[in-house]
Amino acid sequence: MIERKISRFGVLALLFLMPLLSFAQKGEKIQTIVIDAGHGGKDTGALGKVTNEKTLNLAVALKFGAYIEENLPDVKVIYTRKKDKFVELSERAAIANRNNADVFVSIHCNSTDIANSASGAETFVMGESKNEKNLAVAKKENAAILLEDNTDAYDNFDPNSTEAYILFSLSQSLYQSQSLDLAGKVQKQFASKGRNDRGVQQAGFLVLWKTSMPSILVELGFINNTKEEQFLNSEKGQTQMALALYRAFEEYKREFEAENHISSKPETSDEKPSSVVGDTYFSVQFSTLNKKVPVTDKAFKGVKEVEVYEYNGAYRYISGRFLTKAEAIARQNEVRNLGFKDAFVIAFVNGERGTIKQAEEALKK
C-alpha cells in the first residue's frame, strides 16, 4: 500500500480541536452508557479456529448491557450494534456523542502473528502508543476504516503508517483520568476471575479519539490462543467476562456519583482566591465546553480555583485570579503540567472578558 501523507491542515485541525474534544454533559450521575461491540458485518475482525472476533464481541456486549439493564435501571444502555452489521468507527463515537453518553466501552478480542503465543485481557485508553505491542494493537483495530467508503472523517489517516500515530500523542482527553480509573477497575475484575492481567495500556484508537466522555477499549483475550478462544466462545466464558465488565462499571458509577455530588454552591470552587482582586484581573483558561459541567468535576482534579463563565455560546473553564500577568503565566505552567496542554492566559476588565493589554493598562491606574 502507498503510504498516505499527513496533511499540515490535518495537524492544525487536530490542534485546534483538542480543547473542544470533550463536550458531553457530565453531572453528578452516570445516566447513559454506550456499549460498542467491535467490528461487525463485512469486518470480521480477528479470526480463530472456530469463530471470529465480531461474533464474540457482540455476545459479550449484549450480556454486559443486559446486566446493567437488569441491575441499574437508572442507566440507559445504548448499543452501537445489536446484530451482525458494519458500523463505521466515526459513527460509533458519534452515537455516544449524540446521546451525551457518560461512559463509552468498546469490546474487542486480540490476536497475534503466532498462535498460542500470548494470553490474557487488557484495557486501553486513548493515548500515545508507548511501545510496539500497543502500536500493533491500535493498527489492527484502526484497520477497519479501510473497509469504509468514505474516510474523510479521519483526514486521510493511514492506519498502517507509524508516522500517522504521532498525531495521537498530541491529543489530550479531558476525561483521561476517569478513563484510566474505569480501565483499572475492569482489569481488577478480570484478574479476580483468574484471567491473565495484561494491565491498562494507552494507544491511538480512532474509535476512542472521537468520543467525548470517559472511554475505554477492552481486549477480552486472544482469539488465536486455543484455550482462550474456547473460553470466550463458551457460555461460561462470555458470562464471566460480561459480569466482570458490569461489576467494574457498577463500582465506577458508585464512586463517581459519591465523589461528584453537586452542592448548592455557585460556579466557583471552595478554595480561597489566589489573591484579593477586584473586577479586573488575569486568569488561565484551560478548557472550553459547549455544555456546562460542575467546577468540582473529577476531570478537573488537581486544577486550583476552578471557575466557569459563558462566552460566545460556550462554557470556558478558568483557574485563578491574578493581578499580574507573570502570576497567571506561573499558573498556566502548573495547569499544563496537569495535562491541559492548551491552557492560556486571559484577562477580565471590569468583570467582562477583555484583552491582556486592556487589563494591563487598567491595573496601572
Give dist(CA 38, CA 48) in Å, integer: 16
Q: What is the pLDDT of residues 298-349, one digit of tens each?
A: 888 899 999 998 876 678 899 999 999 999 999 999 999 998 888 899 998 8
pTM for the whole structure:
0.62
Q: Give the up-direction half-sphere exposure of residue 324: CA atoms within 13 A in the CB hemisphere.
A: 3
Examine the pLDDT at 22 and tell me if it is beyond 80.
Answer: no
Domain shared by 135 and 27, yes or no: yes
Percent of the chain with pLDDT over 70: 73
Q: Is 154 part of a structural domain of the chain?
A: yes
Q: Are residues 245 and 288 located together in one domain of the fold?
A: no
173, 243: one domain: yes
What are the tens digits of pLDDT across the range 215-246?
999 999 999 999 999 999 999 999 999 999 99
Are residues 302 and 226 both part of a single domain? no
Considering its fold, how many domains does the chain have in total? 2
- The average pLDDT across 163-175 equals 54
On whether residue 3 sits in a domain, the answer given is no
Using CA atoms, how far apart are residues 121 and 200, in angstroms rounded to an integer?
A: 9
Higher-confidence residue: 301 or 186? 186
Can you give the pLDDT at residue 21?
Answer: 39
Whether residue 209 sits in one domain with residue 96: yes
Please tell me whether residues 190 and 305 are part of one structural domain.
no
CATH (domain of 352)? 3.30.70
pLDDT 10s digits, 250-299: 999 988 887 765 332 334 555 544 544 578 999 999 988 877 888 888 88
109 belongs to a structural domain:
yes
Is the residue at 341 inside a domain? Answer: yes
Are residues 99 and 18 part of one domain?
yes
Give pLDDT, residue 163: 52
Task: Give the pLDDT of residue 108.
Answer: 95
| Beta pairing class for 352-354 and 344-349 | antiparallel
| Distance in angstroms (rounded) separating the CA atoms of residues 113 and 127 | 24
Q: 153 with 95, same domain?
A: yes
In a domain, 266, yes or no: no
What is the Cα gyration radius of the chain? 22
Q: Please write the tens of the pLDDT for every residue from 36-71.
A: 999 999 999 999 999 999 999 999 999 999 999 999
Q: What is the pLDDT of residue 312?
A: 63
pLDDT at 313: 67
Q: CA separation (Å) from 102 to 15, 28, 75, 292, 337?
A: 24, 10, 10, 14, 26
Report, as an integer, the average pLDDT of 164-189.
74
Residue 331 lies in a domain: yes
Q: Which three cell numbers stand for residue 56?
A: 464474540
225 and 295 fall within a common domain: no
What is the structure's pLDDT at 325?
92
Are 255 and 317 in the same domain? no
- Asked whether the predicted pLDDT for residue 155 surpasses 80, the reply is no
What does the alpha-carbon distance between residue 303 and residue 305 come to, in Å, rounded to a whole number? 7
* C-beta separation of 175 from 23 below 8 A: no
Parent domain of 308: 281-364
C-alpha to C-alpha distance for 181 and 189, rounded to whole angstroms: 13
pLDDT of 34 reads 97
Instruction: Indicate whether 172 belongs to any domain.
Output: yes
Of 199, 229, 259, the one marking the end of a domain is 259
- Cβ partners under 8 Å of residue 93, min gap 6: 104, 207, 208, 209, 210, 211
Residue 21 within a domain: yes
> Sign of torsion, CA 26 32 37 40?
negative
CB-based contacts of 72-77 (< 8 A; 24+ apart in sequence): 72/250, 72/253, 74/29, 74/31, 75/30, 75/31, 75/32, 75/33, 75/253, 76/31, 76/32, 76/33, 77/33, 77/35
Are 253 and 287 within one domain?
Answer: no
The CATH number assigned to the domain holding 190 equals 3.40.630.40
Q: Which CA distances in Å does 230 have to 97, 195, 237, 330, 362?
A: 35, 14, 8, 56, 72
Q: Buried (b) or exposed (e) across 254-272, using 16+ Cβ within 10 A?
A: eebeeebeeeeeeeebeee
227 and 94 fall within a common domain: yes
Give the confidence band of 209 by pLDDT, cuts at 50, 70, 90: confident
